[in-house]
Amino acid sequence: MTQDETPPGRMEILALSLPSFVFSGYELARKTYLPVLLAGAAGLDMARTGLILTVVNGWSILVEVLFGMVCDMAPDPRWRRGFWVVVGTVLQWAGGAVLWFAPPQGRSVAGWLLGLLPLAGGWVLSNLAHGAWALERSSGIVARGRIFGARAQAGMAGSILFATALLCNRHGARVADDFYVILLLTLAEAPLVHGWLIWRVRQQGSAIATPRLDWAGVFKPFQVCVASPADRRLAALFFLVGAHMAVIGSSFLFIAHHRLGLPDWGTPGILAQALAAMVGTGIAPGLLRRVAPLPMLAGVFAINLALALALPCLPPGQVAPLLLWSAGTGATMAVDFMLLRVVLGQRLDRDCGRHGDAPAAAFYAGFHLPFNIGAMAGTALLFRGVAWTGLEDGGFGLAWLTCGLAGLCLVSAIGCVVSLWRALGVESMGAAPKLYIRIFIKIKWLIWTEHSSQ
């Protein structure tokens, strides 16, 4: 892959950002409102709710692994990103249609999976191709900070729109459950933003023109995230951030309802998270000009840890502490994921410099693989714990379980940042000893030659 030297303009950045606007709605629906729907209107217990969520997360992981390298080798190398964006959009509509036209009451686990699996698989394909497209469109910390900062802000803007739509739905004539409202909006918007992305942003063709898919390449995502000690530590960071985000996102509405006694303030809390995240992701790209990504990431993790420890201490029945906690969590959780992608772009640049054609989709899938595994593990542990403790204690056990799981992830993440920093330092110095050895051999040869001539 050859990096495009022309920095993306405003319209290109907008086109690269808008799919995140819609994707945030899917993430919000799947991670936050789907658990409430399954455990509420659908009448499923916590064990079956956790089973469905775990299977959907596992399916997303499988699809991402299979298409990590295949996305880099689409049938037509000139359209290797747009092809999979279109395929993903079609799958989203197929799964969404099954979910929309089948009533939630009395549906079996298999019935739910029949709609959720193609929906999740479609979003994985579109998002993976979109992420690889953004990675290879520019190079460097500042340029990628602009792109991924804009993507993060677009995602937060989407969360604001979807949360506002839910509030309007609740205070007006309630059309459908919150999950279905977001589902309908995302299915309507996805073809528009994906079509504009394909039309507006030039695609980087593959350096290897091949008319057929290389199915052996599906192992590339596994290889890139364990290729070096630094890559393994970065993969561990993606795992821990995925677990942390899943635990917080899946438990938020349950805590607002059962622990704090504020069932009507869960969605406004999500709105506060999105508004604060827009501020955080707007400030972070500018800070990258003065602060390296890893020190900033460690600081963000420390703030997240303090917020996680404060969660069980939120006073029941009081709105202001909930909204303040939501705002702090939203700002920091958006920034840490943005910074991880900036570091990921640096690893892609390093591989491109060594081999000349670094597969961006394989990098994107390879490092988001542990992120999705972490999300699956966090969700499974959370709902297994809730199924064991129950919610009869007023959500007290759920709040402490969320605090414990999030705290464990964040303490480990801070240690991982330090370890990654050291690994990158060793990696950057790795070329120096080889240079010294070559110089020493050259000097020794010259001395031997001079001695022989005498």
Residue 209 lies in a domain: no
Contact 181, 175 (CB under 8 A): yes
Q: How many CB atoms within 10 Å of residue 174?
A: 10
Contact 198, 85 (CB under 8 A): yes
Residue 278 lies in a domain: yes
Residue found under tokens 């990258």: 288
Residue 133 lies in a domain: yes
Residue 213 lies in a domain: no
For the chain, the C-alpha Rg in angstroms (whole number) is 23
Q: What is the tens place of the pLDDT at every residue in 280-315?
A: 878 887 888 888 889 999 999 999 999 999 999 999
Q: Is the pLDDT of residue 4 over 90?
A: no
Residue 248 lies in a domain: yes
Q: Is the pLDDT of residue 117 over 90?
A: yes
* 3-state secondary structure at position 443: helix
Q: Is the pLDDT of residue 55 over 90?
A: yes
Percent of the chain past pLDDT 90, that is, above it, reads 34
Contact 200, 12 (CB under 8 A): yes
- For range 121-131, the mean pLDDT: 87
Task: Show the tokens assigned to 217.
Answer: 């390449």
Domain coverage including residue 356: 10-204+218-453
Q: How many CB atoms within 10 Å of residue 238?
A: 26
Q: Count the domains in the chain.
A: 1
Identify the CATH number of the domain in which residue 293 sits. Answer: 1.20.1250.20
Q: What is the C-alpha separation between 254 and 398, in angstroms, rounded?
A: 8
Burial class of residue 391, CB neighbours in 10 A (0-12, 13-18, 19+): middle
The CA-based dihedral angle spanning residues 174, 178, 180, 184, taken in that order and rounded to the nearest 10 degrees: 80
pLDDT at 208: 46
Residue 327 lies in a domain: yes
Smallest CA-to-CA distance from 247 within 393, 53, 377, 371 is with 377
pLDDT at 77: 55
- For range 314-337, the mean pLDDT: 91
8-state DSSP, 30: I
pTM of the model: 0.76
Handedness of CA 29, 283, 353, 227 (dihedral sign): negative
| Mean pLDDT computed over every residue of the chain | 81
Residue 421 lies in a domain: yes
* 3-state secondary structure at position 2: coil
Residue 224 lies in a domain: yes
